[in-house]
Chain A
Amino acid sequence: MNIFCTIFFSGLYFSANAQAGFPLALGDQIIYYPKLHNKVQNIEAIKTGLTQSLKRVNQVFDIASKTAINSKDIKTILVQNDRIELEVKGKKNNFIWLFSTIDDSTMYFIGKQNAGNYIFLPSAANFAFAELDAAQQFADNIYAVQYSNINRLRDSVLSSFKEKVTAFKTAKKEAVIRDEQKSLFLLADTVSQKMDYFSAIKIYLKAIEIDELSYPKAYANIALLYAQINFFDYAILYMQQYLMLETETVAIRGAKDKIYEWESLIYY
């Protein structure tokens, strides 16, 4: 299974850096999830964390220049308020990765049995660590850099969704699930029963693209599927969308509890 799949929000790109919690095992690969130490991110603590962990990096692969940098060639590690900068032996220019690029990047944190730990930022670089705790520290701090952006994106997705829900409720139209959608929902259920959660999510997203508001439970199911693969930020977002559509008290209570549960898994 290709774990580097890109996950979309309905018609909208959203970085898949939202994972936290228990590691997810896929064959010999284990996907770890970064966590946050605090609700408010402190840039000085992030800089220290990144510097400390980069001192233990074994290899860095720069995507833009397609250059592999070995740890023994790294002369200086400089983490500033807006960037990570490496001075490398024999290179005239420093390697620079701006936080603004990392912000929009999908982060994958993968460990392979006896083969190191990799943090892959597709638009910036791939960082390889022999030691898991160093990789975890690096990933946690990258996640902290990204977190304000995650919140911003979530707020904007929710506000535009709210407008659609309000318009739908005002129009007092009856929600109709089309046959095409129904078959996709059924397919997604079958796939998720086979524990192929990534594919199930993709099918669900395709289904709600047809009509976003016809089947509120789809949002709860997507949220639960994201939680299953430990993408808790996504799970929270979809459950919040579900809450905007759902009217039944018991279901609302359950959804809110799930959000609380996932929020607690994002933080240490």
Chain B
Amino acid sequence: MFKNILIIATLFLLKIDQVNAQDSVAARNFFQQDSLLKNELLQAKKLLYHTLQQNALVIKINQQVSYAFYNYGYLQNVYLSANGLQFMCNSSQTATIFFNGITDLKFKINTIENSIQSGGLVTEHKLSIGNTTLSVKQNNYNILKAIQQQFIQLQNLLNIDHFGMIAFKQKAIELNGMPNKTATIEEIRKYIVQAEVQAKLYNYEKAIELNFQIIATHSTAYPSAYFNVAILLAETNKLHSAIFNMQKFLLLNPNTKDEEFGKAKIAEWQIILNN
């Protein structure tokens, strides 16, 4: 009798150990990937900072305040902080790009040609980052192109962090292993109905807010909330956020038809962002 109890207790402890081991593997994976991301982020910030610093003398800064554009002159110094990049210009004015403000920005270089009195053309390349515009003369296009690519890389890493993609992937793996992965509770049902109504009335901001309330109530109970948020964010021209939310939807194992549609949408939005 005592022997049996001992066997059961041992088996029980082994089972607990197994569960704990699985948990700790998942936790270790998460921390490894998370610290890797943090490290990559730091490197990307530093790389961008050095590129800007090294080419400061050829970069001109323009700042938009309300509807007015101000020429701050050439870049003199760059400061990197945890929150963003600060540009000191030769007009003694400063412009700041905050990292949390670049989530949905599209980094596009525009080329402007101005005729001058002597009859020639002056070509300028401009890269707008929110309200701040970096511009270079024609022969420095490659510098601006490199800065653009580094901003895109940094934005992607910041967004992976901002949207909690690593933790979400972990959660999705755990959830997809469970037999009954969806549950609709009454509170969620309420938000689903209300979000649909607001979307029909073209109140996209309100519909997005309600879908986020669904996610806040239970992050995986209603996977379609991510799908809806993605579509609505795309409608409001927030394509980066739309892509990350669609990726979350795809992580929750939707049916084949939805999966194909979601992937096609991501591809479509990426094309828009790259052009």
Residues of chain A touching chain B, judged by Cβ–Cβ distance below 8 Å, are: 22, 256-257, 260-261, 263-265, 268
Contact = CB atoms under 8 A, between A and B. Distances in A.
B198 A264 contact: yes
Interface in B193-231: 193-194, 197-198, 201, 206, 210
B47 to A, nearest CB: 44
A268 B205 CA distance: 11
A257 B194 CA distance: 9
Contact of B189 (A257, A265, A268): A257
Contacts of A268: 206
Interface residues of B, number: 10
A109 B198 CA distance: 23
Interface in B160-212: 186, 189-190, 193-194, 197-198, 201, 206, 210
22 contacts: A22-B201, A256-B186, A256-B189, A257-B189, A257-B193, A260-B189, A260-B190, A260-B193, A260-B194, A261-B193, A261-B194, A261-B197, A263-B190, A263-B194, A264-B193, A264-B194, A264-B197, A264-B198, A264-B206, A264-B210, A265-B197, A268-B206
Contacts of A22: 201
A264 B210 CA distance: 10
A260 to B, nearest CB: 4
Would you call the interface of chain B mostly helix, strand, loop, or mixed?
Answer: helix
Would you call the interface of chain A mostly helix, strand, loop, or mixed?
Answer: helix
Q: Which 5 A-B residue pairs are closest in the complex by CB-CB distance?
A: A264-B194, A260-B193, A260-B190, A257-B193, A261-B197
B212 to A, nearest CB: 15
A22 B201 CA distance: 9
A42 B210 CA distance: 23
Contacts of A263: 190, 194
Nearest to B194: A264
Contacts of B201: 22
Contacts of A265: 197
A261 B206 CA distance: 13
A140 to B, nearest CB: 16
Contacts of B198: 264
A25 to B, nearest CB: 16
A231 B148 CA distance: 53
A265 B201 CA distance: 10
Contacts of B206: 264, 268
A264 B206 CA distance: 10
Most buried by A among B193, B201, B210: B193
Nearest to B196: A261
Contacts of A261: 193-194, 197
Contacts of A260: 189-190, 193-194
A265 to B, nearest CB: 7
A220 B198 CA distance: 22
Contacts of A257: 189, 193
A263 B193 CA distance: 10
Contacts of B193: 257, 260-261, 264
A47 B193 CA distance: 33
A29 B217 CA distance: 43
B171 to A, nearest CB: 27
Contacts of B197: 261, 264-265
A254 to B, nearest CB: 10
Nearest to A267: B206
B118 to A, nearest CB: 53
